[in-house]
Amino acid sequence: MKEVWLVRHGQTLWNAQGRLTGWADVPLSPLGREQARRLGVWLQRERFDRVVASDLQRAVETAHLAYAEPEERLWALREIDFGELDGLLWAELPEEHRQALLRFDGFQAPGGESVEGFRSRVHAALSALPEGRLLVFTHGGVLRLVLRELGQEAFLPPCSVVGVDWEAQRLLFVREG
């Protein structure tokens, strides 16, 4: 069995400002660090076979503060690449991009990644992880992608956790941060 707990990183200043944050390597804000520590109180009661994180510092730092230093840092667990849209405020996006992002399916960031490419990358990374109970620190888009494929639609706040039986493609729980 492969039980995967997907954790969205803590808040960054860009998140607080409403900026699209894809591959830009922005750090946690002071509030994000506190969110990670609070999540850690809950996570420390659990035991995992492996701790993995996206290679971006906001995910790595959340892992360190909430549970443990990740054993692996994988670029394939990054947020979707927003390309030319990275760092823009939601209000600055052309309406067509806002609507496409809300629909999610069919979205292609100019100079960035398509949702189909993102899905393929994330699925390959999660499928390649070993069996066991895994704690994976990643990004909001990854949680949204996995939830949508399991019949749920949600934009989860920082430090939310989604538990999945990966092999059965079954949602175990959602804990909002």
Q: How far is CA 33 from CA 9, 36, 57, 59, 93, in A?
A: 9, 5, 12, 11, 28
CB of 82 within 8 A of CB of 104?
no
- The rounded distance, in Å, linking the Cα atoms of 121 and 29 is 28
Q: Is residue 34 annotated as part of the catalytic site, yes or no?
A: no
Give dist(CA 155, CA 174) in Å, integer. 12
Active site residue 79: yes
Contact assessment for residue 76 and residue 121, using Cβ atoms and an 8 Å cutoff: yes
- Residue corresponding to tokens 């995910």: 59
Q: Tell the burial category of 35 from Cβ atoms under 10 Å away from its Cβ (0-12, 13-18, 19+).
A: buried
Helices and strands counted in the chain (H then E):
6, 6
Instruction: Say which of 3, 61, 79, 113 is annotated catalytic.
Output: 79
Q: Which of 9, 64, 97, 139 is catalytic?
A: 9
Active site residues: 9, 79
